[in-house]
Chain A
Amino acid sequence: MWALVVGGALAVVAVVVVLLPFFRQRREAEPDEPFDPSTGSGRAEGVRVQREGIYQALETLRLERELGQVDDAEYERQAGEYRRMAALLVREQERLLAEGASEEDGGPNDQLEREVAEARERLRRMEDEAP
């Protein structure tokens, strides 16, 4: 009998927890926002992932040059390509920022603007570090 009581209580708890999202006040920007490939969010995320990948690749390339795995000429060729790719991605991010701003009635999103500014700064540093 006690097993049925405990089992029943677990069932009630499960139902309550599962139904909870339908009754609570919804905050903005929930991570459960359905994905719509036609919006800019997916593209923006892709750009960010690619950009991070390029920064990491450049760091590894630097280490490889220091370890003697890549000569200076090859380093320069590859690093130049990475910088160009990073610049393209920053521009793409700026374009997405502009799209976000036009979709929103107010000004551009502060967080995203900071993000793009950070990317620009990082790109500038990369160019400064180039021999």
Chain B
Amino acid sequence: MADLGSITMLLAIALAVYAGIGSLVGQWRHAPDLLASARYAAYLTPLMLVTAMLVLVAAFVDHDFSLRYVAGNSNRAMDPWLTWVAFYAGNEGSLLFIAAIFSGAAALAIRLAPDEVRPALPFTTAVLMGVTVFFTGIMMTMANPFYELPVTPPDGQGINPLLTHPGMFFHPPMLMSGLVGVGLPFAFAIGHLLAGQTGDEWVDTARTWGLVVWATLTVGLLLGAWWAYTILGWGGYWAWDPVENAGLLPWLPLTAFVHSIMVQKRRGMFRMWNIALIILAWGFAMYGMFMNRGGPVPSVHSFGQSTMGWVFLIFLAVNLIGAFAVFFWRYERLKSAAPLESRLSREAAFLLNNVLFLMVALVVLWGVVYPLVTDVFQGVIVTVGQPYFDIVAGPLFLALVALMGVGPLLPWRRASASGTMRLLRFPIIVGIIVAVIAVALGARAVLPALAFGVCGLAAAGVLREWVKGTQVRHTRGEGWPTAFGRLIMSNRPRYGGYIAHLGIVLLAFAATGSSFYSVQEDFSLAPGERAALGSYEVEFLGSSSTPRPDRIERRAVVQVYKDGQPLEQLQAGFAFYPAFSMAATRAGIRQTPVEDLYVLASEFTPDGRALFRVHINPLVVWLWIAGPIMVLGTVVSLWPERQRAAAALPAMRAMRAVRATG
């Protein structure tokens, strides 16, 4: 079994090397057959890596503890449903997953490449294959999942307890796919620069892949937040942990990129910006990989630590230096096709958007590297915590949400001051009303009232666009539902983007509520005793202890009351894994649209008492609702436009005919 895994990995790296070199040589020697051969090799690479993946999964299912990786990440007592999680629980499996998913996406990107990017495709393929070779190579040399132990142990060590959570089925794969997926738009950008195509040919393809990766990364981050909320047992969902930040860092320039690329698509502007943003996003994604695999800053994600961090650091440096070298090589040809005509225009809003996203990224990066800086220069590790990020990054995020409400209302090229005020009147009024309502409901501090108001402004901006657009169509004789549906379909990138914006507004709304108004208190309760927090009361009914083959589960049952009325029973507790000396918390959560009652039982004493921590976290549920809305917006944005695609076809064929005659 292990032999087949090793052979397929060897074949994968050989095919990827051939595909990369063959593409460049085929381009250089004008050899179409070699180019086609290289392309076929790129298609075969993921098949080999997926075969290796299946071999490894089969080894887990068979409890093949002769493989060091299987013995280190599973045991016979492990629930079978965790096999998929165990597969990528360590460096070796996760690298195999990354290599397979990236090579698969690369093959798909090459196969689906539209005609306008084909001239540069050999260079793009070379970049894509370079990344595939790196991940496959590092796996084969430093983290081989098929390494066989000299002596097969009777049982394995088991899976890391923190990974025994349903969120782990999707969070790591989505996050890993999102991080490595940034390499796709990056490859198209660098491939076109290398080919000397410094115009806008790559924009549509890079935007498509950029949006797919953005949605994947967004969902990965939100699933990570959900995992942290339910299993880490501290009552929150985002701790500005170094590895969380490492996932957030590429998301920031990538988000700027998927917006900024629209300006290039529309006006031929921001060419340098877009190249720089995607290089930075890829750099941050590589930095995230480095942090996950032996980065120097401790984190709750330390299960992924290894000694291979320096290799990722070198790869990161090579990528950044190489990419910026190509960028400066083509610098003169990357000038915008049009100047910025007015500071009051859609383009200017996009420019400010880019600047704000980069500022947030720099602030977060500084927070992440600050312990290293103090360690190097002062000999002592000083970490910055949540207050730093809240104070510095919070207002910048708020400015971005406000811009999200204003930017889409501004016309392209230029706007008059009076016209702009007229357009913004409704969102500003709604924002003020929301802020006043927030104050009336108890938001006494300035910042949360302002934040709620800004959320109202941004939502009103989107709603205004929908309502006005629907009205315009309705006046042409369309029924209201038809008018609304056709409005969305008439410009999917634009209106899909607005749906995603609503998701971001919900996210900001939830983050504001839970950041400013969460309360918590600790209680030690004997069975039958009650404790009160806010309008809630919890009554400790009793506890149980259930021994399992690999863990001991402790559960407390509490009855929840609100305003004296019984609501429901919650179970809170933890599972202790002796092999890891580690406990995985399971919070009891009562979720409503207004607030979560979050109950943790952290300790059980011999006299039957239990130590509880109870939180009231307002508006958290909207975080989880925001995710699907953002994905829906992305899907609408990416949905192909049939008429336009059909219209483009003759042109594509014509270009091919020109090529054949040339």
Contacts and interface: CB of A to CB of B under 8 A. Distances in A.
B244 interface: no
A85 to B, nearest CB: 10
Interface string B304-348: 000000000000000000000000000000000000000000000
A10 B36 contact: no
B63 interface: no
B654 A35 contact: no
Contact of A66 (B32, B472, B650): B472
B4 A64 contact: no
Interface in A78-121: 78, 96, 100, 103-104, 109, 111-112, 114-115, 118
A32 B40 contact: no
Interface stretch (B182-190, B192-200, B289-297): B192-200
B105 to A, nearest CB: 20
A3 interface: yes
Contact of A49 (B33, B116, B644, B656): B116
Interface residues of B, number: 74
B658 A109 contact: yes
B266 A56 contact: yes
A45 B650 CA distance: 12
Interface string A1-34: 0011011101100100111111000101111111
B37 interface: yes
Given A22-B33, A115-B654, A33 B411 contact: no
Contact of B27 (A20, A35, A52, A53): A35
Nearest to B650: A115
A42 B661 contact: no
Nearest to B264: A53
B31 A34 contact: yes
What DSSP secondary structure best describes chain A's contact surface? helix
B411 A48 contact: no
B650 A118 contact: yes
A47 B36 CA distance: 27
A126 interface: no
Given A41-B658, A109-B657, A112-B657, A60 B412 contact: yes
A71 interface: yes
Contacts of A21: 32-34, 36-37, 40
Given A18-B44, A20-B40, A32-B36, A63 B469 contact: yes
B593 interface: no
A46 B199 contact: yes
Contacts of B30: 34, 36
Interface in A33-83: 33-37, 39-42, 44-46, 48-50, 52-53, 56-57, 59-61, 63-64, 66-71, 74, 78
A36 B119 CA distance: 8
A18 B15 contact: yes
B410 A69 contact: yes
Interface stretch (B357-365, B416-424, B570-578, B605-613): B416-424
B544 to A, nearest CB: 47
Given A33-B32, A41-B659, A44-B654, 16 more contacts: A7-B11, A11-B11, A17-B40, A18-B41, A21-B32, A26-B32, A34-B26, A37-B197, A45-B116, A52-B644, A53-B268, A67-B468, A96-B658, A104-B661, A112-B654, A115-B654
16 contacts: A6-B4, A18-B41, A21-B40, A26-B32, A33-B659, A34-B35, A37-B196, A37-B197, A44-B655, A46-B199, A69-B409, A74-B411, A74-B414, A100-B658, A111-B653, A111-B654
Nearest 9 pairs between A and B by C-beta?
Answer: A7-B7, A35-B119, A21-B36, A29-B660, A3-B4, A3-B3, A32-B35, A112-B654, A39-B662
Interface of A: 3-4, 6-8, 10-11, 14, 17-22, 26, 28-37, 39-42, 44-46, 48-50, 52-53, 56-57, 59-61, 63-64, 66-71, 74, 78, 96, 100, 103-104, 109, 111-112, 114-115, 118
